[in-house]
Structure 1
């Protein structure tokens, strides 16, 4: 305990010597990272990682088959195919890339002899991988929206065909740079060769964080997440290579089949890092807002959810008076409770037919707030204790009727107290009239008045 306190004191002294801006940056980094880690576990990312690992293993052969076919379709890239293969495989699984290269060549050549039905099955496996990635990303961004199947398939095909082309262009540019630098620039050449894979990974991860989620993502946030995932990937490569080189457990147990568990382990680690980068990307808007609501509206109490709903409806009402709708970013800026909470409440209001999103992505209120009351909103969003208390399974106890009667009275009193039109309640600079006193409140006031009278009167 004393040693831990000494280390903590030393850390505080060290950080106190740093400039104020650096201290704030360190604290922000620690805060965002810890928040992203909590989100990672709370979103069940490890379960998604397991699914993506096995789906990726099944999709490796069709993905490589299509990628190599695209390389062959462009004569300018044919000379770079071998270099591209080694670049991919060395970064796909450190220390076993050469062995895996031989296996994949065998699998790809076998895939060329398949029938049309077999090729269709391989293509479906690749598409399922993309759908799994999209589902994992949307869970991280708390999005329930889905693109149409046609749009999703076309997007996947665009990524599948453009990735080899971009890789070929980058390799061509690097080859030109290497030939230009020549022998005198050997140090720079080696630096380019070492840095290029990391840069490609960072750019690729950032593009997936930007393009795949159905929610809008700032490109700056996507690039930060890509850098986090890319740097973590490079560190993981070194650690994994050391582990495989020093620990021969899989070779001892599986022999010639040791490549399979090694690939599975590496793919599992890769997907952990990719999804963590996605969590960082999704966490940054919440961190900037200053108010983190980790579970969206589900992390708020019913009273807090009601306040968020009222705040959103008020901003939509004021915008409608000026003749325009509000974009998602505008709603988030005007209701400072965090993007996750605002997005979730917009979806709940839309599901309850209180809001709708226009064709250009803006939000408008669909209810006339001069007619809709606070009670209507309360019931529509299911904030109260509603439902039949007498029909709960096979329970038929005498006390149920007593509780039912109490709650019927509570519902009646609450409904009468919340019959205020929302337009009056949310009007700018308006002070709403006090709701009428309930019988219970009148009785309590009478008891207080009697108790306050002097004795003998």
Structure 2
């Protein structure tokens, strides 16, 4: 019954793509460890917040030269960062940023502030690139140019938006008393202009910062979702923080610190979730998603085979440990050790008494099919009691495996000779790049 309802819903035009996007978005909370990255960015924000604001305020003073612009941007930033903290965070930020200028710090000190600001943008881009599974990031020069544009154009656009909000507020004060309807309209416009700044900021981040092609529609849709969630979170967090009396009793004069930390963490969690949503919208336009189990099985088979190929290439006269192979493949050592244990269980490699692994037999006597079988067995699917259906499926799969044996009967030595003709077997150094077997292995990163 439920299956029929699901099929009918997915038959609606566009419903299947919405379903794929939702599955991609939800899967990201496990795959990209968004919560952990939000925690890391929260820590980096604490270190780089004052330098970043100091650079932004300096750019605004350099461009405008008017105090109202500086004060307007400063008030807006303090209001966003001080959700639930009241005037305490505003006074502290104003005091710190007013001291962080070129006159007070000098050229070297201000250069350190600029470096801290760039490091925060660098880590934000890295988090976005990880969500988009970017294989080749921008060069350092391209990154610096883009960050410089952020630090120069961003404050100008922000101050312009806040100036519009400020002018609307002035109009409300000047003409609102005599016209009640006029005052309400201006009040709504002022509120919408503040929300529009939020949407524009998220959209700008999602479109420009990732080192991937992001459709403008996906970036705007994600900005709308993330911006709305952020505005709602501001309202809820401000309401809850006023009732956190116990926090002040526990932390005393530094009670504002856990409140600010919590709000920064929530903000980054929403920001990264919005980036994942933009990625899901773009990825959902592609062909039908494959089953996660099939993807995991293929990735495991390829990875186990690649570990054995690296072992064959790196071994000379002594056993090879898991650490060098992990550095060679640029993957965690734990994954390499698991693959070596799977190969050992399949009697393809053996562990030396003094540590390290060696092939159990020559590469010419190990077939690709054996490596594939070792990878499959290492997945560890639960065994089930045999029945008529299971036995019938086993016979069908056995027939398919027999048909595939011809293509996988190639030995490892023959495979390496065919793929890497210039490089003879066993001559490559441990730092050499392993052969590219399948793009699936590129998903396995530390």
With the shorter chain as reference, the TM-score category is 0.5 to 0.7
Which residue does 2:161 correspond to in 1? 170
Residues 1:276 and 2:273 are matched in the alignment: yes
Once the two structures are superposed, the pairs formed by residues 427-446 of structure 1 within 5 Å of their partners are none
| CA 242–24 in structure 1, closer or farther in 2 if over 3 Å, else same | farther
**Cα-Cα RMSD:** 4.2
| CA 114–220 in structure 1, closer or farther in 2 if over 3 Å, else same | same
Residues 1:55 and 2:50 are matched in the alignment: no
Q: Deviations over 1:369-415 (max 9, x none)?
A: xxxxxxxxxxxxxxxx999945644499xxx8689886359689723
Residues 1:415 and 2:410 are matched in the alignment: yes
Once the two structures are superposed, the pairs formed by residues 229-244 of structure 1 within 5 Å of their partners are 229-244=226-241
Task: Report the count of equivalent residues.
Answer: 327
Which residue does 2:141 correspond to in 1? 150
Which residue does 2:121 correspond to in 1? 130
Instruction: State the distance in 2 between where 1:406 and 1:151 align.
Output: 49
| CA 54–82 in structure 1, closer or farther in 2 if over 3 Å, else same | same
Which residue does 2:150 correspond to in 1? 159
Instruction: State the distance in 2 between where 1:74 and 1:242 align.
Output: 37
After TM superposition, give the deviation of residue 147 of structure 1 in Å.
1.5
| CA 410–127 in structure 1, closer or farther in 2 if over 3 Å, else same | closer
Instruction: State the distance in 2 between where 1:150 and 1:196 align.
Output: 35
5+ residue gaps, structure 2, are 303-328, 330-342, 371-405, 419-446
After TM superposition, give the deviation of residue 140 of structure 1 in Å.
0.2
After TM superposition, give the deviation of residue 298 of structure 1 in Å.
5.8
After TM superposition, give the deviation of residue 218 of structure 1 in Å.
0.8
Q: Please say which of residues 165-174 and 26-35 is displaced more in the overlay.
A: 26-35
Q: Which has the higher contact order (CA 8 A, sep 6+)?
A: 2
Indicate if the aligned counterparts of 1:39 and 1:279 stay in contact, CA closer than 8 A: yes
After TM superposition, give the deviation of residue 23 of structure 1 in Å.
7.5
Indicate if the aligned counterparts of 2:21 and 2:283 stay in contact, CA closer than 8 A: no
After TM superposition, give the deviation of residue 293 of structure 1 in Å.
5.0
Which residue does 1:121 correspond to in 2? 112
Instruction: State the distance in 1 between where 2:138 and 2:364 align.
Output: 47
After TM superposition, give the deviation of residue 179 of structure 1 in Å.
5.2
Instruction: State the distance in 1 between where 2:192 and 2:352 align.
Output: 64
Once the two structures are superposed, the pairs formed by residues 60-75 of structure 1 within 5 Å of their partners are 60-75=49-64
Instruction: State the distance in 2 between where 1:246 and 1:409 align.
Output: 64
Indicate if the aligned counterparts of 1:39 and 1:294 stay in contact, CA closer than 8 A: no
Indicate if the aligned counterparts of 2:222 and 2:278 stay in contact, CA closer than 8 A: yes
Which residue does 1:40 correspond to in 2? 29
Which residue does 2:92 correspond to in 1? 103
Indicate if the aligned counterparts of 1:84 and 1:168 stay in contact, CA closer than 8 A: yes
After TM superposition, give the deviation of residue 142 of structure 1 in Å.
0.4
Which residue does 2:189 correspond to in 1? 192
Q: Deviations over 1:35-82 (max 9, x none)?
A: 312212211111211110010111111111112222222346532322
Instruction: State the distance in 1 between where 2:32 and 2:10 align.
Output: 32
Which structure's CA Rg is the greater one?
1
Indicate if the aligned counterparts of 1:64 and 1:108 stay in contact, CA closer than 8 A: yes
Which residue does 2:336 correspond to in 1? none
Indicate if the aligned counterparts of 2:168 and 2:190 stay in contact, CA closer than 8 A: no
Once the two structures are superposed, the pairs formed by residues 224-373 of structure 1 within 5 Å of their partners are 224-292=221-289, 299=296, 301=298
Instruction: State the distance in 2 between where 1:415 and 1:99 align.
Output: 70
- Secondary structure of the structure 1 residue equivalent to 2:409: helix
Q: Please say which of residues 80-89 and 43-52 is displaced more in the overlay.
A: 80-89
